[in-house]
A and B are shown apart, each in its own frame.
Chain A
Amino acid sequence: MQADPRPQDGATPVLSLRGIVKTFPGVRALGGVRLDLFPGQVTALIGENGAGKSTIVKVLTGIHQPDEGEILMDGQPVHFPTAQAAGHAGVTAIHQETVLFDDMTVAENIFIGHAPRTRWGLIDRRAMRERARAILHGIGADLNPATRLRDLGIASKHLVAIARALSIDARVVIMDEPTAALSHKEIAELYGLVEKLKAQGKAILFISHKFDEIFRIADRWTVFRDGQFVGEGAMADVTEGQLVQMMVGRSVDQIYPKRPARIGEPVLTVAGYCHPTEFSDITFTLRRGEILGFYGLIGAGRSEVMQALFGITRPSKGACRIDDGIRVIRSTAQAVEAGIVYVPEDRGRQGAVKGLPIFQNVTLPSLSRTGRHGFLRLAEEFKLAREYTRRLDLRAASLDQDVGLLSGGNQQKVVIAKWLATKPRIIILDEPTKGIDIGSKAAVHDFMSELAAEGLAVIMVSSEIPEVLGMSDRVIVMREGRIAAEFEGEAMTPENLVRAAAGIGQPQGKAA
C-alpha cells in the first residue's frame, strides 16, 4: 500500500522527518520513521495506542530529542533543542495531554511566554485579553479571557490549549487528538478552523482515532505501527478497511458488539437531584443489564451529575435509591462500597495516579480484595492486573512501569481496568473510549456488553454519537443541566440526539 509520497500538484514538503529513532527504557517508541507535511494539506497520522504518534509530535516540538534521524525544514536540516526553538521555527502543537496553569486566567494561559507588550515592555493586559477573545471566538469558544482555568471543565480547558497553539504564528500546526475531549458543536467549529488554516497554506498534522473525521478533513495519510513507518498516500486512494488493516495488521469488526441483554429490575433510581449551579431536577432509573447512554453538549452537566452519584459533590436536593434502600452517598469510598464506580473524563487529573506503577493503579480500589488483613499481597495484585490489562489489550513495557509513561490511550485502559477489577454492580463510564484506538475500542465495547449481559448496570456518558447509539439500550439527552429528552428503540437517531442536545424544535421522542 505504498502510494506516491508526493501530492498531485507536486509540491515539496515544508517539513520532513527521516529515519527518526527514539528509545525509552524498555521500549523502542520510534524505530526509524519518516513523515512529510505539505503546505495547505492536512496529513492524518494513524496508528494504534502506543504506536509512537505522540512521541513524534514531541520530537517535532523540541520536547524529545531523537536518538537518530533528521528533521528537514524546506529541505534544510534543523534542530529543535527546546520547545521555544520549535516555536520560532514555526511549528506549533496542540498536545494530547495539555499542560496548562490552573491558577492563571484563560488569556494568560494562551499567551504565556509570548504575551503582547506595551511600549514600556510590560505585559499589555488589554491587548492580551482582546487577542485572546478574538482567537477563542475564531474557534467558536465563548470563554471569558479573564476566567481562571481552575473554574473550567476539561473540554473548555482543551479549547484554551487549542487557542494557545493558534496564538503562535506557525507554518506547521500539529493536532494530537484535538477532538477527543469535544462534542459535535465544538468539533464542527474545529473542522472549520482546519479548513481556514489550510487555505492559509499551513501544513497540518492531524492525529485521530476517529475514521469519519479523518476521511472528512485529511488530504493525506501516514500509518505507524509499533514505532515503524507502514505507509503513506492520498486519502482519495484508500479505504477505511485498508487503513485499519495497515494499522493493526488485521481487520477489525466495527459493528458495535451490543448483545441483547436481559434487562432486569431497577438498581438505581435517582429522584429530583439538584445542584446549586450545575444541574437541576435529574430523575431517572437504571436497570440491571442495561446500558444507559447520556448524550449532550459540553457544559450540559453530565459529568457533574455522575460525580454527584459517585460522592464527589453532594446534591443540594433529591435522593437516590440503590436496590431498595435509600442511600446518601457522601464519599467515593461509600460509593465504591455500594458498588457504584466511576471512570472519570479527566484521566490525567482524576483517573491515573502518575508516579505509581500500572499494577498498583489497577489494584488501588481493590486492595482489600488482593490483600489480607490490611497487608499487601503482590502476587495477587499482579494476577488481578494481568487479567484485566490483558482483557483491555494494554500495551506497556511491564506492569511495573509508571502509568505516566504510557501513551494516552493506554493510560485510559488502565483506568478502565482499575474499575472493572472491582467487580462493580453499577459502572459509570464518562467518555470511556476517549483516545482509544479502533481495535481496543472494540475490546472495551465487547467487555462492556459482556458485563451488561452478566447483570452489570452501565451508564455511559459519551459525546460520540455512533458510540452512544451503538451501545445504549436507552439514551438520555441533557441540556443546560436538565434532562432534555429520553429516547428508546426507533427514536434513537443521530438527528434526534443532536436536536435535543441543541434544543432545536420538538424532537419526536418523549420529552422528559
Chain B
Amino acid sequence: MYEFDIEKPSTIDEAVAALASDEAQALGGGQTLIPTLKQRLAAPGVLVSLGGIDALKGIRPEGDTLVIGAGTCHADVAADGTIPALSALAAGIGDPAVRNRGTIGGSLANNDPSACYPAGVLGLGATVVTNQREIGAGDFFTGLFETALEDGEIITAVKLPRPEAAAYVKFEQPASRFALVGVFVSRTGTEVRVAVTGASEDGVFRWTEAEAALSANFAPDALDGMSPDGDMISDIHGSAEYRAHLVAVLTKRAVAAC
C-alpha cells in the first residue's frame, strides 16, 4: 500500500468537508477498498473513515419504507428481517467476518457487477439518499463500477419500499462467493420488478420482458422460453450463454420462492 492518512470524522458534515480534497476517498467497511489499496489500484492521500459516524448507522421504519443507514453492516441488515428477502440477501454476502465490516453504502458505491445489494436495491425500486440529493435506483447504477455519485458525494442512507412478496436467488461463484448470477424479484400488487446481477457487461439491470410477463401471470412458467437480451459476461467462471440461461432459471426460482 502507498502511504496515506486516516481521518475519523464523527458527523456527516465533517466527512463531507474532509472529502472535498481531491486526494481524499471515503472508507466504508474496507472489505473492497483495502484489498484494492493493497494492490495499489487506488492511491488516495487521505482516507476518510465513515465508521465513526453514528448518523450513518441503523435501520428504522419510516412510513411504508425501511431506511437503512449507509454505514450499516451486512450482518445488521441480515439480523433485521423487516424485508425478509433483503435480510436473506445480506446474510448470503461473503462470510460472517466480511458481513461484520462491509456496509450497504460501500457496496452500492462500489457497484461491482457481481455484487448482491445492487440487485436488491434495484429490485425493490429503492431510493439512494446522499448528502446532496435522493437518487432513484434506476438512475443510480450507471455501468460497471459506475454510479451517479459525484466526486466527494457520499451515500447516507437507502430508502426501501416494503414489497408484498420478494425473493433473492444467488448462484454462487464457489471461490469468491460473489454472485455468478443473482436475481432479485419483488411483487407489489401487479407491479413486478426483476433485477439481475452478475450477468451483464453493463452491471446490474432490470429484465423488463420478464417483468411484463410476470405482471400478467406471476408464475415461473410465465417465463418459459424467455432469456435476457444484451451482452452477458463471459469469463472462466461461465460463458455468456451459460449466464443467460442461469438468469432465466434463477428468475423462475425467485418467483417460486416469493
Partners in one complex: no
List residues of chain A with CB under 8 Å of any chain B CB.
Answer: none
